[in-house]
Amino acid sequence: MPALLLVVVGCSEPAPPPPLSTAPPPLEMVLLANSDQVDVALRDPQPVVSARLIDAGGQEFPVGKITYARETEGQSAGIQPQLRMNAAGGSTGTTGAGVGLSLPLLGSPGPAADRVVVSYFSVRVLDMAAYRASWQHWKFHVTLGATKSNRREIEFLPPRPPA
């Protein structure tokens, strides 16, 4: 009678994957209670050239001075090399063996760290009662890009007013 043979070689629990990103969020906005100023920090490869807050009726409020800082977003850990082998046999005469390799065979480094520009700007909300009543219909209109050839426009909602 054949004996049951089970051999496991080099089998270990895989390491948990690294986090997808440890970078700060691309957009942060703050509107503090008892304040009429919205502070914005926008992270993008391109700097903010101009920005304005537009109310529900289309009136525009340009932001004050825009300041900049450069940040480097962390490099990803990449893909670690993995090798898995197993073999199995049974009393019915069937045996099996398997080897598994992950690709790339030697692992892969993560992408290089990205450099981003953090653009900081603020705008005063002159009518906080109107803002509280219709803030979902307001928007920031922002122009990004250091030169005309790489300019782009984005829009996003302002922050929810404090309670």
117-142 per-position pLDDT tens digit: 999 999 999 999 999 999 999 999 99
122 burial via Cβ count (<10 Å: 0-12, 13-18, 19+):
middle
Q: Is the pLDDT of residue 90 over 70?
A: no
Measured distance CA(105)–CA(138) in Å, rounded: 52
Residue ranges per domain, the chain? 25-80+113-156
> Which stretches does DSSP call E strand in the chain?
6-9, 27-30, 37-44, 48-54, 60-62, 67-72, 83-89, 95-101, 115-124, 139-144, 152-156
| Matching CATH number, 25-80+113-156, of 1.10.10, 2.40.170, 2.60.40, 1.10.287 | 2.60.40
Q: Phi/psi of residue 136, each to 5°?
A: -65, -15
Global pTM?
A: 0.64
Mean pLDDT across 95-111 = 61
